[in-house]
Structure 1
């Protein structure tokens, strides 16, 4: 899965969603990049699981131009 600017979505990324919400990528399933426990979401097959500030865990199954990378994990 990629951001609109072409960068890969990776576990631990802090993202902005739709210009007003934020979240942390728990699982980047396409790249098999997971925070601890995030591998539990691998069964979804594609996309990313993001812990959002508006609705908890949300699965984004494909590239989404509403997702913007704020910063990579430390």
Structure 2
């Protein structure tokens, strides 16, 4: 999955989702990568996208075709 500017989304990236919502990328579904706080068993039913741990609504699945909604704030 990529940001609108073409950069690859990476685990640990802090992202802006708009409307004051920010979060941290914790799972890359397509590449089967995840942080040590979570494992893939929570998203085995998903086929694409990323999971973001947000600051105000908890976990959010963002499908790959919705990548235009996020902006990279900071890379770890």
TM bucket (normalised to shorter chain) is 0.7 to 0.9
1:12–1:26 Cα contact (<8 Å) kept: yes
Residues 22-58 of structure 1: CA deviation (Å, up to 9, x unaligned)? 1000101223331112433451121000001121000
- TM-score, normalised to structure 1's length? 0.83
1:4–1:65 Cα contact (<8 Å) kept: yes
Deviation at 1:65, TM superposition (A): 1.3
The answer to whether structure 1 residue 40 and structure 2 residue 47 are counterparts is no
Match of 1:65 in 2: 68
**TM alignment of 1:1-74, pairs within 5 A:** 1-18=1-18, 20-36=20-36, 37-43=38-44, 44-62=46-64, 63-73=66-76
Deviation at 1:18, TM superposition (A): 1.5
Query: Rg: which structure is higher?
Result: 2
| Number of aligned residues | 73
Taking only aligned residues, the RMSD between alpha carbons, in angstroms, comes to: 1.6
Partner SS, residue 46 of structure 1: coil
- TM-score, normalised to structure 2's length? 0.81
